[in-house]
Amino acid sequence: MALGDSALFEQLLSPALLGTAMVTTFMVLIMTKRMSAIAALLAIPILFGLASGAGSALGDMILQGVLQVAPTALMLTFAVLYFAVMMDAGLFDPLVRRVLAMVGDDPVRIALGTAALATLVSLDGDGTTTALIIITAFLPVYKRVGMNPLILALLLGLCNALMNYVPWGGPSARAAAAVGADLGQVFGPLIPAMLIGLAAVFVLAWWLGRAERLRLSVGAGSGATVTSVPGLDIDPAIRRPRLFWANLALTVGLVLGMILGLAPLPVMMMGAFAVAITLNYPRLRDQKARITAHADNVVNVVVLIFAAGSFTGILNGTGMADAMANAALTVIPPSIGSYLAPITALASMPLTFVMSNDAYYFGVVPVIATTAAAYGIDAEAIARASLIGQPVHTLSPLLAPIYLACGLLGVDVADAQRFALKWAVLISLVVLVAAIATGAIPLRAG
């Protein structure tokens, strides 16, 4: 082989180019649905790791990456099961019916009730469950009054996106796993910005409801008839209405404990689940049935997180992440690089709209985090910044929930996107400003 050919071959196998090729291959395969995210996260880095010459060292790299995400996977396992038990026991049933009874025929109260119930039900982190409950509960009310169902879709999506910032929500878990950060450290500082974002959604709900009231010339009305709601009409034998206050106290205590950081998140979720399952279903047969009923959700989430650990373990262990970051540093002016955190937040809106969460968080965010570290920006800050665009992400045509919601509402997906996009961008910007103001995201490095 000639000297020039040898140099070209070595350049093609450089960590920066291999890392870029690996990330690009991963993103293309999952976005074109040629491979599942789990399979791609496992197979693609192994192939490129072998091409880099890592050889037998790949095993240690994979184990190191898996060990880094193990606490996250542990916390998610018991968080999904805990909130599933709370839903099964009927913790949210009285609150759902109360909200429906209070909204009446007034568009302002209906819009505010939609936001309130969507926020509440989204606590379990399952967007599909939220869509089914909220749409089936409120769509008859919207139709009776004559309100625009696109408002229902908008408020549902915004509240669900912001509530997905919680540690057991998919985006937060992915962001933390992608940069190797502690999930509690990612979520904790973002709580004030999340609450401000939710407050902005409620203001938007009031404004849209007021506009609908004027359009329809409808004043405050009497209480609405409570409709049948999926998730509330399951086998009453598994409901535990007499334990409502005990379950509520346990859940409030758990949330406060997470906010105050009384113990590591996995430990609190494990303890809370043990109490919840024993309190509500003391018989072992019933406990097994409840765990089995939600096993699919647990397995899907946990396997994805462990696969992500394998991906990032090889990306970091082979030096690809550092090499890609160094290559990026050569083209990013230092004056811009110090603003990578807010730039990441702004870029997350268009990027998550055209990319799946898996492609974005596991393909793009780790490279940004490594690059930002050279400017003194913590990985946790980049993880938080990468979450800002989630309200826009809910409108992505790559997501199945938007088709489910629009199908239930009987509206066109394009109409829903056109109606909601400007408001989703506005709420994302509100959260970004709040995150900068509260210190969750630094405006500038140092």
pLDDT reading at 8 higher than 50: no
Residue-wise pLDDT for 244-278, tens only, equals 899 989 988 887 887 677 888 788 889 999 999 99
Residue-wise pLDDT for 42-82, tens only, equals 999 999 999 888 888 899 999 988 887 788 788 778 877 88
Residue 46's Cβ-count burial label (10 Å; 0-12, 13-18, 19+) is middle
In this prediction the pTM is: 0.69
Residue-wise pLDDT for 146-197, tens only, equals 889 999 999 999 999 999 888 877 788 888 888 888 888 888 899 999 999 9
Q: What is the Cα–Cα distance from 182 to 76, expressed in whole angstroms? A: 13
Reported confidence tier of residue 226, pLDDT bands at 50, 70, 90? very low
Domain boundaries, the chain: 15-437
Reported confidence tier of residue 296, pLDDT bands at 50, 70, 90? confident
